[in-house]
Amino acid sequence: MVYFTTRLHTQRLTILSPLSRPNKTRHASQHMPDTPPHDGYMPDNSTLTAIPIPTLSPAMPGLACFASVSSVQAYWPRGHHGLSETEHECISRMIRAEDRVQRTAAHILKRRVLGHILGVSPECLEFYQDSNGRPFLHHPESTLDFNISHAGNWVALSVISRRDQACRTGVDVEAQRPQLDWTSLSKDFLSPAEIRIMNELDYDQGRLFALSRWSMKEAIVKATGEGLGATLSTITPTVHADGTFHCKNLHGYTIACDGHHVIGAAVFPNTVTAQIVRLDSTGWMQATAHNPTTQ
């Protein structure tokens, strides 16, 4: 592989505390100032460095991959070949063609990365659902937990090598939709303090603030298993200036995928150090590698 660097131009966001999504339940207290903090979301022009195909290790048992649909298609030109009948049925239930394309790319990313980690053919992997409908990998030598998400032109996968069944990961990608009225929706997933912050920002910054909170909170409830039963407005994680965040026994990472409207978040247990990567059209790129538990 040829090693090189490129630039990811990210949107500046004023960040403060929690995450977002409607009608969920779980609480994590945090002090929220009355005025938005300085700077925030992800560093501008963060440098991405080419790396080998990502995998897991004892020192880095967590992995989050973000990829554009076009990058997945270019990287694995076989397309939907190798997906299971269940995956095909899941894809066919999507009404919009663009959603079917996104879902296909998400399943391809899942199979290719997990297959590489385990050293087996991606087509041989078997996936089932638990009693809550959460997918899991059935493999005799696997201790992996994973989660996938897709929105806009982006798909995401988070993976951990877990020590016990209680360890899980969650990931969420959200795309900004011009038709959404965040002012009306905010009460469903933002805390009162977060709503005040959003209202003090200008229009574009306020929408990005809401979108980032939504993505983070979705990732959190996917990791905790609360899903649709959680009250997102009560989830108030501590968010750091570099986009990392904490919520009780979890920590997470955020990334502005395409530099303007799509936000991604991945959540891991506090005991897990994670590698965050992005699939560029030319290969895998290191997005960040710090561990928020050390901050």
pLDDT digits (tens, 9 = 90+) for 148-181: 999 999 999 999 998 777 789 999 999 988 888 8
92 domain residue, yes or no: yes
The residue with greater pLDDT, 121 or 79, is 121
Cα gap 149→98, rounded to integer Å: 14
Band of the pLDDT at 196, cuts 50, 70, 90?
very high
The domain of 175 spans 62-286
Can you tell me the mean pLDDT for 190-203?
A: 94
Residue 9 confidence (pLDDT) above 80: no
Can you tell me the mean pLDDT for 259-282?
A: 89
User: Can you give the pLDDT at residue 130?
Assistant: 82
132 domain residue, yes or no: yes
273 Cβ contact list (under 8 Å, min separation 6): 59, 60, 61, 62, 291, 293
Can you tell me the mean pLDDT for 133-153?
A: 87
15 domain residue, yes or no: no
Band of the pLDDT at 103, cuts 50, 70, 90?
confident
What are 25's two structure tokens? 């339940």
User: Can you give the pLDDT at residue 43?
Assistant: 30
For the segment 111-128, what is each residue's pLDDT rounded down to a tens digit? 899 999 999 988 888 888
Q: Would the pTM count as exceeding 0.85?
A: no
40 domain residue, yes or no: no
Cα gap 160→144, rounded to integer Å: 6
CA distances for 205 relative to 41, 99, 189, 195, 197, angstroms: 11, 27, 17, 13, 10
For the segment 15-61, what is each residue's pLDDT rounded down to a tens digit? 222 223 333 333 333 332 333 332 333 333 346 788 888 999 999 99
Residue 294 confidence (pLDDT) above 70: no
294 domain residue, yes or no: no
Can you tell me the mean pLDDT for 267-289?
A: 87
User: Can you give the pLDDT at residue 288?
Assistant: 62
275 domain residue, yes or no: yes
CATH number at residue 251: 3.90.470.20
Residue 106 confidence (pLDDT) above 70: yes
258 domain residue, yes or no: yes
Band of the pLDDT at 90, cuts 50, 70, 90?
confident
Write down the residue that tokens 């904490």 correspond to.
246
Weakest mean pLDDT among 7-11, 94-98, 279-283: 7-11
Residue 94 confidence (pLDDT) above 80: yes
Cα gap 18→193, rounded to integer Å: 10
| Residues 137 and 87: beta-carbon distance below 8 Å | no
Q: How many domains does the chain have?
A: 1
Q: Are strands 62-68 and 274-280 parallel, antiparallel or unpaired?
A: parallel
Residue 278's φ and ψ, nearest 5 degrees, are -130, 140
Percent of the chain surpassing pLDDT 90: 40
Can you tell me the mean pLDDT for 132-141?
A: 80
32 domain residue, yes or no: no
Percent of the chain surpassing pLDDT 70: 80
